[in-house]
């Protein structure tokens, strides 16, 4: 094949060109992978919710800065046919005082019923009863190290007294849930302890309402039945809609898409320039041969097909190594 013969005529040049395409492909895929990873990380909490339906305020754009709605609304909805149980969830940012160096760091705090959390929190169940006691909480074992050697202390002593928002609290254990780009660490506690920690919150208000349906209930039918009852006080969402709400907020307000999209565009441009330069050099160096082919009766379309075949070969030669190298990273 003429296109392949021209490319392999100078093998060193072919290797260099392929390496350029490999780098470009790897750069694009790594940037896109980081973007998707950051996006998944940002919606990790929303994905962990196991409730069938979720209530949020109409003013809520993201659960990390959610507006509130009346708790009494949840009590009313609990009597609707098809609803098995309802729960409340609170979220806020607090200040964690490192008991070793006395420095304060921001931490995400979640108030959720440990008896029926309606949220995927592995390892929570053994602590459910003790979390009902005053000023008790759990530490996220995957939090960053700036909070101090909390895990090591818990393994030795079983509990740790700390200050959260200048209030004495006791960590009774750790569960591994994971942090996000929004925070360096997490704390989990019962709603009553959460409200003690944030006394300035409006009484009787809830950040997120969680609704579990009966096994034979149709989620869409129940949802339609709930809408007239909530009026303008709240929105009824499915879990998927909640996740999509979080993704939409991040795309509109965080630079994740722009930064990593720009990185992918730079990678594409690098690959484009490399392939263009190689093809330009190939065509320039083989102009006499192309002239001979024209004289022999070959059409312009045939010569264009040769050049495009070279471009495709270079792309394929660079894509697969770049793809597997990006996976390796």
Q: Render pLDDT for 159-168 as a digit per residue (tens, 0 to 9).
A: 999 999 999 9
Task: Give me the phi and psi of 114, to 5 degrees please.
Answer: -70, -20
Helix, strand, coil % in the chain, rounded to nearest 5: 55, 20, 25
pLDDT-derived band at 187 (thresholds 50, 70, 90) equals very high
Of 174, 150, 151, nearest in space to 162 by CA: 150
Q: Which value, to the nearest 10 degrees, does the dihedral of the CA atoms of residues 153, 155, 156, 158 take?
A: 90
- Domain count along the chain: 2
Least-confidence region, from 60-74, 110-124, 244-258: 244-258
d(CA 281, CA 296) in angstroms, rounded, equals 23
DSSP H helical segments within 106-149, as ranges? none
User: Same domain for 92 and 212?
Assistant: yes
User: Same domain for 92 and 241?
Assistant: yes
User: Same domain for 212 and 273?
Assistant: no
Does some domain include residue 320?
yes
Identify the sign of the CA torsion 195, 201, 203, 209: negative
User: Same domain for 143 and 211?
Assistant: yes
Average pLDDT of span 67-77: 88
- Looking up tokens 């330009």 gives 280
User: Same domain for 23 and 116?
Assistant: no
User: Same domain for 126 and 108?
Assistant: yes
Of 97, 14, 82, 102, nearest in space to 236 by CA: 82
Q: Is the pLDDT of residue 267 over 90?
A: no
The per-residue pLDDT of the chain, averaged, comes to 87
User: Same domain for 19 and 58?
Assistant: no
Q: pTM of this prediction?
A: 0.78
DSSP 124: -
Encoded tokens for 309: 């075949």
User: Same domain for 265 and 303?
Assistant: yes
Q: Is 328 helix (H, G, I), strand (E, B) or coil?
A: helix
Of 214, 215, 208, nearest in space to 239 by CA: 208
Asked if residue 210 lies in contact with residue 84, where contact means CB atoms within 8 angstroms, the answer is: no
Average pLDDT of span 174-178: 92
Does some domain include residue 173?
yes
Of the residues 201, 230, 253, the one at which a domain ends: 253
User: Same domain for 200 and 128?
Assistant: yes
Of the residues 214, 237, 253, the one at which a domain ends: 253
Determine the structural domain holding residue 16 and report its residue range. Answer: 2-38+256-328
| Highest averaged pLDDT of the listed ranges 212-216, 231-235, 273-277 | 212-216
**β-strands 160-164, 208-213 pairing:** unpaired
Q: Is the pLDDT of residue 3 over 80?
A: no
Of the residues 201, 223, 253, the one at which a domain ends: 253
Task: Give me the phi and psi of 74, to 5 degrees please.
Answer: -65, -40
Q: Is 21 helix (H, G, I), strand (E, B) or coil?
A: helix
- Looking up tokens 């109409």 gives 58
The residues, ordered by sequence, that sit 6+ positions from 176 with a Cβ below 8 Å of its Cβ are 122, 123, 140, 141, 142
CB atoms within 10 A of CB 208: 28
CA distances from 251 to 29, 45, 103, 234 (A): 19, 17, 33, 23
Torsional class of 204: left (φ above 0), alpha (ψ -120 to 50), beta (otherwise): left
CA distances from 189 to 101, 122, 193 (A): 24, 14, 6
Does some domain include residue 72?
yes
Does some domain include residue 196?
yes
d(CA 190, CA 129) in angstroms, rounded, equals 10
pLDDT-derived band at 110 (thresholds 50, 70, 90) equals very high
- Looking up tokens 């030795």 gives 156
Does some domain include residue 43?
no
User: Same domain for 71 and 182?
Assistant: yes
Please, is 61 exposed, middle or buried when counting C-beta atoms within 10 Å of its C-beta (0-12, 13-18, 19+)? Answer: middle
């Amino acid at each position: 094949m003429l296109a392949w013969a021209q490319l392999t005529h100078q093998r060193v040049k072919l290797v260099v060109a392929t390496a350029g395409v490999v780098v470009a492909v790897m750069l694009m895929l790594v940037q896109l992978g980081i973007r998707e990873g950051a996006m998944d990380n940002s919606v990790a909490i929303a994905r962990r919710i196991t409730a069938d339906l979720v209530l949020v305020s109409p003013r809520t754009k993201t659960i990390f800065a959610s507006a509130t709605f009346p708790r009494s609304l949840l009590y009313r909805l609990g009597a609707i046919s098809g609803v098995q149980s309802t729960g409340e969830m609170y979220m806020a940012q607090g200040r964690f005082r490192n008991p070793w160096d006395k420095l304060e760091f921001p931490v995400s705090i979640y108030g959720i019923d440990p008896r029926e959390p309606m949220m995927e929190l592995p390892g929570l169940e053994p602590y459910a009863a003790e979390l009902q006691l005053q000023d008790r909480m759990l530490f996220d074992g995957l939090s960053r190290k700036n909070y101090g050697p909390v895990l090591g202390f818990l393994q030795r002593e079983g509990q740790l007294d700390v200050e959260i928002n200048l209030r004495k609290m006791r960590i009774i254990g750790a569960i591994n849930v994971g942090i996000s780009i929004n925070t360096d660490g997490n704390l989990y506690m019962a709603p009553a302890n959460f409200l003690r920690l944030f006394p300035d919150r409006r009484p009787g208000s809830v950040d997120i309402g969680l609704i579990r349906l009966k096994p034979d209930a149709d989620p869409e039918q129940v949802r339609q039945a709930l809408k007239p009852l909530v009026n303008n006080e709240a929105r009824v969402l499915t879990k998927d809609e909640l996740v999509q709400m979080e993704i939409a907020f991040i795309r509109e307000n965080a630079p994740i898409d722009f930064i990593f999209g720009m990185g992918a565009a730079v990678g594409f441009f690098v690959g484009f320039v490399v392939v263009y330069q190689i093809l330009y050099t190939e065509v320039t160096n083989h102009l006499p041969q192309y002239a001979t082919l024209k004289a022999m009766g070959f059409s312009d379309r045939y010569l264009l097909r040769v050049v495009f075949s070279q471009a495709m070969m270079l792309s394929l030669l660079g894509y697969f190594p770049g793809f597997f190298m990006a996976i390796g990273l």
